[in-house]
Amino acid sequence: MKEELKKLLEEAKQSLAEANTMDEAEALRIKYLGKKGAITEILRSMKDLAPEERKEMGQAANETKAEIEQSINARKEVLKSAAKQAKLIEEAIDVTEPAVEAKLGASHLISKTIDEITEIFMNMGFSVAEGPEVETVYYNFDALNAGPNHPSRDMTDTFYIDDKTILRTQTSPIQVRTLLKEPLPIRIIAPGRVFRCDTPDATHSPMFHQLEGLVVDEGITMADLKGTLDIFAKKMFGPSTKTKFRPHHFPFTEPSAEMDVTCFKCGGKGCRICKGSGWIEILGCGMVHPNVLKVGSVDTEKYTGFAFGMGLERVAMLKHEIDDLRYLYENDVRFIEQFK
Ligand code: DAH
């Protein structure tokens, strides 16, 4: 029996040395030490031996069992740390690998233009107002002193939802909404989307953006209008920019004007951008018509005001020499990325 034990021990050690995984080591533990394992069988057969032999053999068998157990545990330790090592190598991160460049988004040019203009007027004490894109005929036309037969009311120019509701054709209705909502004095700008029944081409789009301005206070005159807009023009288009005000007509202002700026490309000499004239039309403006102030519950004996409105696509296109409005809405990254 001693021989048998010795053989078992050697055999076990030999097999263990060849066991390369935890599973194989565990299989060997079961083979030798499990319920039906070789050593267990031997220990069980002890009961058939004579008492003095039983003692000696029992001791020898237990020693062999302990030794095999120890060998298995030692082998398992080795295999465990080898597995851990292999995992570490497998999961290692090579910090010298070149990184995949993450694509960063950018604000759209129209958003940037709104931000830029807003910043200029905020620095002059203006705040930002808003109004709905789905507007009433009343706020878009009637309240702005546009007569019942004003051409812009036409179905061919305006998107009607029903006979009282439209998509606003201008940001000007925000003027009256603000007058009715805010205490005087008022000094606001209001950027937003506007809609007109136009077929898209290089200079037209059924949706575009405007930025409205309104100042109402005691003693506001045309000089305030000109001074404010002249500062805006110089900040927006460069310090040497000059402004010129040409008489015009809008229903909601009296007197009304259009403001031109000296061409920021040629400085006024005449070029492709300004079509040879040296001047570029930028916005409409004027002193707020008393009828509009009255609709806004303003005491016209005490208060006067000025207003202005500009097309943001036009300003952005002129400033960045973009020759087709449609680029602004196609969302081609090659275009958008140029204005990061
Ligand atoms: N709402 C005008 C338009 O869409 C632009 C405009 C002109 C706005 C003069 C104004 C203004 O506030 O005073 O053509």
Burial of 246 (C-beta count, 10 Å sphere; 0-12/13-18/19+): exposed
**DSSP-assigned letter for residue 206:** S
pLDDT at 187 > cutoff 90? yes
The set of residues, in sequence order, having a beta carbon less than 8 Å from that of 217 and lying 6+ positions away, is 184, 185, 186, 187, 303, 304, 305
Indicate if ligand 1 lies below 6 Å from the C-beta of 250. yes
pLDDT at 65 > cutoff 90? no
Band (pLDDT 50/70/90 cuts) for residue 340 is confident
pLDDT at 4 > cutoff 90? no
pLDDT at 168 > cutoff 90? yes
Indicate if ligand 1 lies below 6 Å from the C-beta of 178. no
Q: Which of 159, 121, 170 is nearest to 284 (CA)?
A: 170
User: With pLDDT > 90 as the criterion, what percentage of the chain qualifies?
Assistant: 60
pLDDT at 314 > cutoff 90? yes
Task: Walk across the sheet containing 134-136 and list its strands.
Answer: 134-136, 165-167, 160-162
In the reported structure, the alpha carbon of residue 218 is separated from the centroid of ligand 1 by a whole-number distance in angstroms of 22
Work out the number of other CB atoms within 10 angstroms of the CB of residue 127. Answer: 14
In the chain, the DSSP E strands lie at: 127-128, 134-136, 160-162, 165-167, 186-195, 207-218, 243-250, 253-262, 279-288, 303-311
- pTM for the whole structure: 0.73
Band (pLDDT 50/70/90 cuts) for residue 33 is confident
| CATH number for the segment(s) 109-339 | 3.30.930.10
Indicate if ligand 1 lies below 6 Å from the C-beta of 212. yes
Q: Which of 310, 248, 316 is nearest to 121 (CA)?
A: 310
In the reported structure, the alpha carbon of residue 304 is separated from the centroid of ligand 1 by a whole-number distance in angstroms of 17
Task: Please tell me the residue having the least CA distance from ligand 1 atom 8.
Answer: 309
In this prediction, residues 331-338 reach a mean pLDDT of: 88
Task: Please tell me the residue having the least CA distance from ligand 1 atom 4.
Answer: 170
pLDDT at 220 > cutoff 90? yes
In this prediction, residues 295-300 reach a mean pLDDT of: 97
pLDDT, tens only, 90-146: 999 888 989 888 888 888 999 999 999 999 999 999 999 999 999 999 999 999 999
**DSSP-assigned letter for residue 102:** P
Indicate if ligand 1 lies below 6 Å from the C-beta of 188. no
Nearest ligand 1 atom, CA 169? 4
DSSP-derived 3-state class of residue 49: coil
pLDDT at 48 > cutoff 90? no
Conformational region of residue 305, where left means phi above 0, alpha means psi within -120 to 50, and beta covers everything else: beta
Indicate if ligand 1 lies below 6 Å from the C-beta of 225. no
Contact 32, 39 (CB under 8 A): yes
In the reported structure, the alpha carbon of residue 270 is separated from the centroid of ligand 1 by a whole-number distance in angstroms of 27
Band (pLDDT 50/70/90 cuts) for residue 68 is confident
pLDDT at 1 > cutoff 90? no
Q: Which residues pair with 92 in a beta bridge?
A: none
DSSP-derived 3-state class of residue 283: strand
- Please give the pLDDT value at position 174: 98
Say how many Å lie between the first and final Cα of the chain, rounded. 88
Nearest ligand 1 atom, CA 286? 13
pLDDT mean across residues, the chain: 92
| Residue of 145, 172, 220 with the most ligand 1 atoms within 8 Å of its CB, for mutation | 172
- Please give the pLDDT value at position 169: 97
| Residue of 168, 210, 250, 306 with the most ligand 1 atoms within 8 Å of its CB, for mutation | 250
Of residues 247 and 25, the one with the higher pLDDT is: 247
Nearest ligand 1 atom, CA 171? 1
Q: Which residues pair with 279 in a beta bridge?
A: 262
